[in-house]
Amino acid sequence: MVDGVPVGDNQDRHDLVSGWRKSSYSESNGHCLEFARLADGRVGVRDSKAADGRVLRLAPEAWAAFVKELRSS
């Protein structure tokens, strides 16, 4: 939660607007996150090793904050 607002949930079902993408920094060992734009406006995030598993759906603002934090690391 950010300021009392839920930023994500974990769902079995999701409707993709774009295909799943991996970061260009992903390692070849398969330990990667994949992300995609979802029809409801959120960003879906999943474990590349569990492509049929559950998807964490993040609000666009939460995704942007996550990426910003990663870039600053």
Task: Considering only residues 45 and 6, tell me which one the structure prediction assigns the higher pLDDT.
Answer: 45
65 band by pLDDT with thresholds 50, 70 and 90: very high
Contact 54, 11 (CB under 8 A): yes
Contact 46, 24 (CB under 8 A): no
**Residue among 63, 61, 52, 59 at smallest CA distance from 13:** 52
- Residue-wise pLDDT for 24-52, tens only, equals 766 666 678 888 988 888 898 888 888 77
φ, ψ of residue 9 to 5 degrees: the values are -145, 170
17-22 mean pLDDT: 79
**Residue among 73, 71, 72, 38 at smallest CA distance from 57:** 38
